[in-house]
Amino acid sequence: MPGTKTSGNRTNRRGRKLVRHLHISPAAAQSLRLLTLNARGVRNSETITEAQIVEELIGAAWRKLDEQYQADADETYEGGVL
pLDDT digits (tens, 9 = 90+) for 14-72: 677 787 888 999 999 999 999 999 999 999 999 999 999 999 999 999 999 999 999 98
User: Rounded CA gap, 57 and 31, in Å?
Assistant: 12
Amino acid at 74: D
Predicted confidence (pLDDT) at residue 9 exceeds the cutoff of 60: no
User: Rounded CA gap, 17 and 36, in Å?
Assistant: 27
